[in-house]
Amino acid sequence: MREVFPGRRSMTFDPTGSLTAALRPPPSRCILVEMSPVQLIDAALFLPLIERARRSPRLRTNHNFHSSMEDNPHRFLNVMVRGTYIAPHRHRDPPKSESFLVLEGDLAFFTFDDAGQITSTTILGREALGIDIQPGVWHTIAVLTDHVVCFEVKPGPYSAANDKDFAPWAPREGDPTAGAYLDMLVSSVRPPTL
């Protein structure tokens, strides 16, 4: 662990995957990471994140470029491996738009109506590389390749208590039926292999 010099901006990374700003040494379970004013987004950054996502119980991890949860906007890599489940949700209160760019891999981006019917499916990572959605749109994604690296931007600040409004018609993460729901979404994009 490096010592933090007074007045110098640095970040702490804890093993759960969150980054927090610090001006004093972090707890011993954290690794101190100094934020460079310029960060390259390349394969050298992707590889350890893909491995971290594979080891994560949620099969995904974020790499934040913003320095705190209060920053606006939030800019981050969302690295996901096949099988991760993100419950359909929307960002309505507070209203937040969201933009995704797929940098590596393919995913299916789904939108839904208020009853849970799929209203659109877009494959990102092939011809279409990204998508921008307005606040209040029900959506989710499903990874179609071994892994996906996305660059996301959405307004801050982040508060887990009100960031997402989860769909009442879909299973939440951790629900025993989530895997079957994800399989149904993926099979709507491509037929099952025999």
Per-residue pLDDT reduced to its tens digit, 5-19:
333 334 433 444 444
pLDDT of residue 1: 29
Indicate the average pLDDT of the chain: 84
CATH superfamily of 39-189: Jelly Rolls (2.60.120.10)
pLDDT of residue 30: 38
User: Is residue 23 very low, low, confident or very high in pLDDT (cuts 50, 70, 90)?
Assistant: very low
pLDDT at 2 over 80: no
Per-residue pLDDT reduced to its tens digit, 96-125:
999 999 999 999 999 999 999 999 999 999
| CA gap 90, 43 in Å, rounded | 31
pTM passes above 0.75: yes
How much is the average pLDDT of 143-163?
92
Q: Which residue is it, tokens 């590389």?
A: 129
H helices of 102-170, in order, are: none
Q: Is 131 left (phi over 0), alpha (psi -120 to 50) or beta?
A: beta
How much is the average pLDDT of 186-190?
90
pLDDT of residue 163: 85
Q: Which residues pair with 104 in a beta bridge?
A: 149
Of the two residues 22 and 4, the one the predictor is more confident about is 22
Every domain of the chain and the residues it spans: 1-38, 39-189
> Long-range contact list for 63-67, CB < 8 A, 24+ apart?
64/19, 65/39, 66/156, 67/9, 67/11, 67/19, 67/21, 67/35
pLDDT of residue 37: 85
pLDDT at 21 over 70: no
Of the two residues 138 and 36, the one the predictor is more confident about is 138
User: Is residue 162 very low, low, confident or very high in pLDDT (cuts 50, 70, 90)?
Assistant: confident
